[in-house]
Amino acid sequence: MEGDLFLILGAVTLGFFVKGVTGMGGPMLSTPLIAATTSVEHAVVVVSFANLLSNLWLIWENRRAGSGLRWLLVPMLSAGVVGTVVGTWLLTELDDRILSWTLAAVVFLYILRFLFRPDVRLEKPAARRLAVPVGLSGGLLTGGTGIGGPVFATYLHGLRLERSTFVLVSGLIFGLLSPIQIGLLASWGVFDSGRLVQAALALVPVLIVTPVGMAVSRRLPQRVFEYVVLFLLAYSAIRLVT
């Protein structure tokens, strides 16, 4: 138990510092590290409260950056809710190897396109058509594995959003999906006393590293910020298939 707790706190510290900088990376980095010595279900449960707190903090910090995004947020978040419910229901049953490989291929193709044509962006008509599929698939992964970041971040990165807008939209996505996931997990009895204690203790590093990450983020040039996000996408794609 003690060794597991140190691992959890270390993984959460790393993941949510990065989330403070970029708006993503919390569950993406911490969940696989925790699951390596426990289980995916255990990791998703333990990280869930930390993820909710971090998202609410990032939403508040960047609340003025979201004007004019209703066309994107309403369909994507609505579809994300549906995907999260289904994914959480399948949490203990889901065999997502084929989906993981497909998603990893899409992420790597996007990274290559960005590296060779860094000024290309996803235009609004195409982005509008993709909002619902992105919401569904990202919600499914969020509910089933706790890691929907590769789907949502690839899409948002393609829109080439300014830093604070990117962080706000990412926070809104997971700020809505996180409590749905927590409520469903609680209703299905997966929060035993040991997991609840670990989930509560995981809030401590979030409170410490989130403001540090946000301070670092404010000093990053936009292009550097984009490449940091790109690196996280590459890492997440590798983790999906290993």
User: Is residue 23 left, alpha or beta, with left meaning phi > 0 and alpha meaning psi from -120 to 50?
Assistant: left
Other CB atoms within 10 Å distance of the CB of residue 90:
15
Phi-psi region of 67 (alpha: psi -120 to 50; beta: other; left: phi over 0): beta
Mean pLDDT along residues 91-108 = 62
Q: How far is CA 68 from CA 56, 65, 72, 173, 184, in A?
A: 20, 9, 9, 16, 32
Cα–Cα distance, 76 to 172 (Å, whole number): 11
Q: What is the pLDDT of residues 42-87, one digit of tens each?
A: 888 899 999 999 999 999 998 888 777 888 888 998 998 888 888 7
Query: What are the structural domain ranges in the chain?
Result: 2-240
pLDDT digit string, tens, across residues 131-169: 999 998 888 877 766 667 778 888 888 888 888 888 898
Q: Is the pLDDT of residue 2 over 50?
A: no
Q: pTM for the complete prediction?
A: 0.77
